[in-house]
A = this chain, B = another copy of it.
Amino acid sequence: MNLYDRLTLDIEQRIRDGVLRVGERLPSVRQACRSQHLSPSTVLKAYYQLESRGLIEARPKSGYFVRPRLRQPLPEPQLTHPVGHATELNVSDFIFEILESVKDPAIIPFGSSFASPHLYPLAKLGRYLAAAARHMDPLSTLTDLPPGNEELLRQITLRYLTSGVPVQPGEIVITSGAMEALNLCLQAVTRPGDLVAVESPTFYAGLQAIERLGLRVIEIPTHPREGVSLAALTDALRHHPVKACLLMLNFQNPLGALAPDDTRRALVELLRRHEVPLIEDDTYAELYFGKQAPLAAKSLDTSGLVLHVSSFSKSLAPGYRVGWVAAGRFAQKIQRLKISTSLATTIPVQIALADFLRHGAFDTHLRRLRSTLEVQETKMAAAIERHFPAGTRLARPRGGYFVWVELPPQADSLALHRMAQEHGISIAPGPIFSAKREYRNCIRLNFGHPWSDEYENAMATLGGMITGLA
């Protein structure tokens, strides 16, 4: 993150926390330069940003002051209440329409599931892939069959160990992205007709995989900030033959929720008692804001029941299609399923990623990516507060690149989707995240793209449409 974005964030945080109150004067540019060891232009850029977001105002010859807020920060949505129980799925064409729209760079990608590819070190990765491609030992086409390239497995294991997850040798299987890993996990722990518990709302691809495998789903109430409701999950385990849980504890898609540490502990213990496997989709874990990486439930697992799924697609290498699962007691089964599903994951790409992890400064890249996303989140949130009508609720995520917005009850996100599309703006309407097509007045917005005036205008356009619908 550059210096002025960091200063902008700091001041914004102090305003939100009430340290700086409405009407109070900010330090003068000169004071700020001295106390923060910054250049005047850095301070001015930060003040200009804060002004453009409506947080402060310049008063001639007096300095910069905290502006009266037009309204309080938006309230959060509440714990969800999905209706009904076990559901057979029927995924609509609609999801594929939205996926299709992300291919067109002219469409504003608020509905996209991907962050901007420009946020990733694709040029540098390309150099590693170039080297791997040229120097690849032909025998690696055989030796790197599942579980995968040995050095890549070792590098992933090292990262687990560094972050306190005690994975066992032989537990990890490389897959063609997290999506394939999720599919293999579901197959490994269920049989057709089985019941799988998921958060509500949840990522549509998980629902699609569940549908495709002939499974049924039970949707668990979930809090937009704190994630899955353990009380509700406990109840579901007691009354229904739940055979597996598919959950995202870190920056859940679409809510952005982050489960508290206590919840994780209790969850792992609960599932151990019931002998129910947890498929932990942890694809966004590396994208945390702030200093502290979140815990994986996997780190608390002593029974081998947690299958921890992740990938490089969101953190490092979109388009390379390399993911993995640390599959606990299901590792051998997963390895065999992988072989009979797609045999292997592209070998030169596995080698390139192994080399990158060893030499490529992955953590430096990640720090930059996290800061960038954090700044973009504040811009997206500010735009929502500025442009969306009263009655809007917003859960501000602490990582990832999705924000979940609850619109006023009358606002129909499917109608909004159609109207927005005509203006070249995509959004992800709530119903695609639910087996029963709930969350009709909710949308998921993507802030994984560098903010621009065009985006600001698009948010104003959306706000106008929502006001009309509400």
Query: Which residues of chain A have a CB within 8 Å of any CB of chain B?
Result: 91, 96, 99, 102-103, 105, 114, 116-118, 120, 122-123, 125-131, 133-136, 138-145, 175-177, 179-180, 183, 187, 192, 205, 208-209, 212, 214, 318-322, 336-337, 339-349, 352
List the 8 closest A-B pairs by CB distance, nearest first. A141-B319, A130-B130, A117-B138, A129-B133, A319-B347, A126-B133, A208-B340, A180-B342
Say which residue of B103, B125, B126, B349 sits within 8 Å of A346 (CB atoms): B349
User: In the complex, what's the smallest C-beta–C-beta distance from A17 to chain B, in angstroms?
Assistant: 37
> Smallest Cβ distance from A311 to chain B, in angstroms?
10
Q: Is the CB of B342 within 8 A of A179?
A: yes
Tell me how far the C-beta of A326 lies from the nearest C-beta in chain B, rounded to whole angstroms: 19
* 15 A-B contacts (beta carbon < 8 Å): A91-B340, A102-B142, A114-B142, A116-B138, A117-B142, A122-B136, A130-B130, A133-B133, A177-B342, A205-B340, A212-B337, A321-B345, A341-B341, A342-B342, A346-B349
Q: Which residue of B lies closest to A145 (CB)?
A: B103
Q: With the chains together, A143 CA to B212 CA distance in Å?
A: 25
- A139, B105: Cβ atoms closer than 8 Å: yes
In the complex, which residues of chain B have a beta carbon less than 8 angstroms from the beta carbon of A142? 102-103, 105, 114, 117
Q: State in angstroms the CA–CA spacing of A179 and B192 once bound together.
A: 22
CA distance A128 to B343 in the complex (A): 23
CA distance A123 to B205 in the complex (A): 37
The smallest C-beta distance from A237 to any residue of chain B, in angstroms, reads: 26
Which B residues are CB-close (under 8 A) to A342? 175-177, 179-180, 183, 321, 342
Q: Are A103 and B141 in contact (CB under 8 A)?
A: no
Inter-chain contact B126/A136, CB cutoff 8 Å: yes
Q: Which of B127, B180, B339, B344 contacts A341 (CB 8 A)?
A: B180
A345 and B345 CA atoms in complex are apart in Å by 9
Copies in the complex: 2
CB-CB under 8 A for A99 and B145, given A118-B138, A134-B130, A342-B342: yes
Q: Contact partner of A214 among B120, B209, B214, B349, CB < 8 A? A: B214
Which residue of B126, B138, B176, B345 is within 8 Å of A134 (Cβ)?
A: B126
The answer to whether B346 and A346 touch across the interface, beta carbons within 8 angstroms, is yes
**A213 CB → nearest B CB, Å:** 9
User: A114, A130, A131, A134: which has the most chain B beta carbons within 10 Å?
Assistant: A130
Chain B positions within 8 Å of A145 at CB level:
99, 102-103
Q: Which of A105, A143, A321 lies at the interface centre, i.e. has the most chain B CB atoms within 10 A of its CB?
A: A321
Q: B residues within 8 A CB of A136?
A: 122, 126, 319
Could you say which of A96, A105, A346, A347 has the most chain B C-beta atoms within 10 Å of its C-beta?
Answer: A346
Question: Which residues of chain B have C-beta atoms less than 8 A from A349's C-beta?
Answer: 346, 348-349
The answer to whether B120 and A343 have CB atoms under 8 Å apart is no
Measured CB to CB, the closest approach of chain B to A194, in angstroms, equals 12
Chain B: CB-nearest residue to A318: B141
Contact B339 A96 (CB under 8 A): yes
In the complex, residue of chain B having the shortest beta-carbon distance to the beta carbon of A344: B321
**Interchain CA distance A319-B135 in the complex, whole Å:** 14
Contact B344 A319 (CB under 8 A): yes
Closest to A320 in B: B346
A316 to B437, CA, bound (A): 46
User: Which residues of chain B are within 8 angstroms of A187 by Cβ–Cβ distance?
Assistant: 212
A117-B142, A127-B134 known, 11 other contacts, Cβ within 8 Å: A122-B136, A126-B133, A126-B135, A176-B176, A176-B180, A176-B346, A179-B340, A192-B214, A212-B341, A321-B342, A341-B341
Report Cα–Cα, A144/B343, bound state, in Å.
Answer: 22
Cα of A126 to Cα of B133 in the assembled complex, Å: 4
- Which B residue sits closest to A113, measured CB to CB? B343
Of all chain B residues, the one with the shortest Cβ separation from A129 is: B133
Question: By the criterion CB–CB under 8 Å, are A96 and B336 in contact?
Answer: yes
Given A133-B133, A346-B321, are A339 and B99 neighbors across the interface (CB < 8 Å)?
Answer: yes
In the bound complex, residues from chain B placing their C-beta under 8 Å from that of A118 are: 138
Smallest CB separation, A244 vs chain B (Å)? 17
| Cβ-closest chain B residue relative to A340 | B208
Chain B residues contacting A344 (CB-CB under 8 Å) are 177, 319, 321
